Amino acid sequence: MPQEQCAPGNSGNAGRPDSPGNSGNAGRPDSPGNSGNAGRPENPGKPDNPGRPGGDDAGAAECAFAPEGGRTDYDGGRDSLRAHSDDGIRIGNVAAGGGHFDDEGSTDPFFGEDGYQEHLAAEYSSITHENYLKWEFVHPEEGVYDFEAADAVVEFAQAHDMDVRGHALSWHSQNPDWLEEGDHSPEELRGILEDHVRTVVSRYAGCIQQWDVANEIFGDDADATIRDEENIWIRELGVEVLDDVFRWAHEEDPDALLFYNDYNVDGVNAKSDAYYDLVQGQLERGVPVHGFGAQTHLSMNYGFDETYQENLERFDALGLHTAVTEIDVRGDVGEDDRMNDEDRAGAAERFETVLQACLEVDNCNSFTIWGTLDAHSWVPGTFPGEGDATLHEGDYERKPTYCVIQRTLVEHQEGGDSWAEDAAFEECRGILEEAGV
């Protein structure tokens, strides 16, 4: 999830100001070279589960947080997103909490807001911990883990037949002070990192289908250089440690899909090239890298990179899964906290374009919206004057964007006539007609 994202600089679509190198979108603030497909090298560590993340093989680890009798079917109703979220594509959202929810007297939406969990279960088939699995929350003191919130999210997912994306095992941001300001030798840091990865992944073996193993490791400069100053692991242990974190995670849960995840990779550009080259080398060394995640934080103040699908396809051609991991589309808002009608229509079109791209790529099987209501979104607090980035507003009323996603999913699975004629989708047809979308 984006942590302090600043505004413009790219000629692409999103949000970081000082990122002159990317021609793609842009989105996250703090957070080299092959642009073609170099064949499809073997990926010896990749689980054989091209459909639903995690697979359902008999040999898969049993989730320790599953309800008695295992996961049960959960029906959100035909007029929902999860009704059209199948083994080919999981539609997700976040368990909102931590981070920007720090106003006096406020509670995290996941635990404290009436109707929030019911909404997630009704609409989505996948969930991501927004903050509860980041180091500052789950590993607040050296040698001390706090799994209470993270466990609750996994238990909720199991009870409502939802997949889980784990976010994130290593990152340069949201680390605890004891780690960033501690006086640890490289050998001690390596031990700390290995213990963290093994402890967290093994706890949720069989529960979490996809892990963001290494998050945002390249910068926003023109050459997309690796974060060898900001990222404590790379700075102190070298880039070679990336091989290790994937291997440790894979050893603890061989069935989980292991991803890189970043922003400003929404097209063929310097940063996505850097990932392509890195992953290609790791696959040749037999490192169990299984996926590439594009966060996709977009803005109506910037253009959209038309090479979005091409970029996913080249990672797919390497034998990787791909995922849209954190999508939202923000824009300038008025006093009513809404974009104007033109930008709202444009935002809906971008959601549709990205979803359609994912549906067209063989192993793009996870599409996660980053936030439910705008009140839960990180955007307004990070980009003053911008917002309207999610699918619902008010008391979970649907925006046109929601209905465009529903229409895209139904038409992909059942054909255009089904969505246009089925009475189940009457509400969304009315919303889109009124909005002129």
Alpha helices in 207-269 (DSSP H): 232-237, 241-252
Give residue-wise pLDDT tens across range 199-236. Answer: 999 999 999 999 999 999 999 999 999 999 999 999 99
Tokens of 216: 């945002």
Q: How far is residue 13's CA from residue 302's CA, in Å, rounded to a whole number?
A: 4
- Tell me the chain's radius of gyration from C-alpha atoms: 20
Could you check whether the bond before residue 157 is cis, i.e. omega within 30 degrees of 0? no
Is there a catalytic annotation at residue 326?
Answer: yes
Is there a catalytic annotation at residue 352?
Answer: no
Q: Which pLDDT belongs to residue 286?
A: 98
Our CA angle for 371, 263, 21, nearest 5°, is: 145
Alpha helices in 321-377 (DSSP H): 341-360
Give residue-wise pLDDT tens across range 398-415. Answer: 999 999 999 999 999 998
The single residue of 252, 326, 386, 393 carrying the catalytic annotation is 326
The single residue of 113, 123, 130, 216 carrying the catalytic annotation is 216
- The whole-number average pLDDT for the span 314-325 is 98
SS3 240: coil
pLDDT at residue 37 is higher than 60: no
Give residue-wise pLDDT tens across range 232-281. Answer: 999 999 999 999 999 999 999 999 999 999 999 999 999 999 999 999 99
